[in-house]
Amino acid sequence: MPERITFPQDFLWGAATSSYQIEGAWNEDGKGESIWDRFTHTPGKIIDGSTGDVACDHYHRWEDDLDLMQAMGMQAYRFSIAWPRILPQGRGQVNQAGLDFYDRLVDGLLARGIAPFVTLYHWDLPQALEDAGGWPARATAEAFVAYADAVSARLGDRVTRWITHNEPWVAAFLGYGMGVHAPGVQDFQKAAAAAHHILLSHGWAAPVIRANSADAQVGITLNLYDVAPASPSPQDYRAARELDGFLNRWFLDPIYGRHYPQDVTAWFERVHGVQMNFVAADDVNSIAAPIDFLGVNYYTRHVVRAPDEDNAPRTIHTEDSEFTEMGWEVAPRSLFRLLNRLHFEYHIPSIYITENGAAFSDIVSEDGRVHDRRRLAYLKAHFKAAHDAIQCGVPLNGYFVWSLMDNFEWAFGYTKRFGIIYVDFDAQQRIIKDSGRWYREVIARNGFDD
Ligand code: IFM
């Protein structure tokens, strides 16, 4: 007999996207240049030489996309706002046409009974702000607050769920440390300063959003991992603790009022020469501004082995595990462990999974369908893990699949497909994949048979 898995009555099911990955229209209606426009227009940065200039052309096709969401029974939609559409120079003059686009989008969602979850920053920083120092400069955090003010003043009467930032670790360390994301800087001192200013801007913006949006629930989304040692050796334990500090605790601790973890600041200094001279007296209190929920982006776990030399710890691939096209291990039980850890260690009152999904290579079959069996299995296993966590008392309130549709996967261009809707980028045709069809049933039944 299959086991019936049922979620709590008010559990929200949705899907997520981000502006640069789907919108296109990179220079229309007064939009300014973003760091991702500049980065993708620079030869050699993106694996397939592609850009987000057109992407899914969602800027022009948003009504059809919302109709598709409605047909799939989506209850919530997480999308991000392109800062340079609102403030082409990053600060100063507001571009009304940019705000109008998101105003229509929000109304379109509400008219279809879909709750908007707005992310203010999903990596498309106005290039003008980057030219003035980018996230390593404190002034960018101040500019973010003015931007959050402009957006929440316009949409705050209808939008109640606000996410300040998406994955600060990625924005800071891939963008300014390793240089594989925009703006392509390789400087760990700058990356650490960027991470700090992103968190600071989050803390400063939270009360501003609340002032503009009476029923606002404000949160932040982090990319989090279950990190385990490869063996019981003290060396591997230490390496796992370091990676956990770098990826998870560096963000969770200050957000939840515990300041920056000292073992990680020491590690940063030892391994990357980072000085924490960018932290001003009251910053840790600002970062710890009360928030209503935590957004968790979960994709994989890390099994860690100590490095030979005193360098960054290494993630190893476990034999017999399944891996996605990103090379990420499929590890649903680690989602269960992570959610429990967040609940018991940080006492978080409300959690949403704001992203979870998998890249697999999809083909359109002769019957015109996309039989993405592995993605369906991935989602099912992760939904089950989330359900188990709820049984343990974890206050998980909703789940957003990444992604609503195939899109521009950053440095990988269009070579990785994460969607539950297939996109033919030449014809801009959409096909709901088998995973999307199955997801429609899950939403309708608020659960599934295991
Ligand atoms: O596509 C990204 C998204 O923008 C942020 N989280 C991870 C996804 C998959 O890499």
Residue 325: give its domain's CATH number: 3.20.20.80
Residue 310: predicted pLDDT? 57
> How far is Cα 23 from Cα 82, in angstroms, rounded to an integer?
9
Cα 87 to Cα 33, 46, 197: the distances in Å are 10, 26, 19
Atom 9 of ligand 1, nearest CA residue: 409
Q: Give the residue carrying structure tokens 């890390």.
A: 302
CB atoms within 10 A of CB 2: 7
Residue 23: predicted pLDDT? 99
Asked if residue 124 has its Cβ within 6 Å of ligand 1, the reply is no
Asked if residue 253 has its Cβ within 6 Å of ligand 1, the reply is no
The whole-angstrom distance between residue 213's C-alpha and the CA centroid of its chain comes to 23
Structural tokens at position 249: 């605790």
Whether pLDDT at 309 is above 80 = no
Q: What pLDDT digit, counting tens, does each position of 135-185 carry? A: 999 999 999 999 999 999 999 999 999 999 999 999 999 999 999 999 999
Q: How confident is the model at residue 319 (pLDDT cuts 50, 70, 90)?
A: confident
Catalytic center residues: 167, 355
Mean pLDDT of 111-133: 99
Mean pLDDT of 387-403: 98
Whether pLDDT at 312 is above 70 = no
Do residues 18 and 36 lie in contact, with contact meaning Cβ atoms separated by under 8 Å?
no
Residue 314: predicted pLDDT? 82
**Ligand 1 centroid – CA 235 distance (Å):** 31
Sheet of strand 226-229, all strands in order from the earlier edge strand to the far edge: 226-229, 301-305, 314-315
Residue 317: predicted pLDDT? 87
Pick the closest to residue 389 from 444, 419, 346, 351 (CA basis): 351
Residue 311: predicted pLDDT? 64
Q: How confident is the model at residue 232 (pLDDT cuts 50, 70, 90)?
A: very high
Residue 22: predicted pLDDT? 99
Q: How confident is the model at residue 324 (pLDDT cuts 50, 70, 90)?
A: very high
Alpha helices by DSSP H, listed for 245-372, are 250-255, 262-272, 283-287, 332-346
Q: Which atom of ligand 1 is nearest to the CA of 18?
A: 4
Mean pLDDT of the chain: 97
The total number of structural domains in the chain stands at: 1
Asked if residue 130 has its Cβ within 6 Å of ligand 1, the reply is no
Q: What pLDDT digit, counting tens, does each position of 1-37 carry? A: 889 999 999 999 999 999 999 999 999 999 999 999 9
- 3 DSSP 8-state letter: P
Whether pLDDT at 308 is above 80 = no
**Ligand 1 centroid – CA 210 distance (Å):** 27
Q: Which domain holds residue 262?
A: 4-449
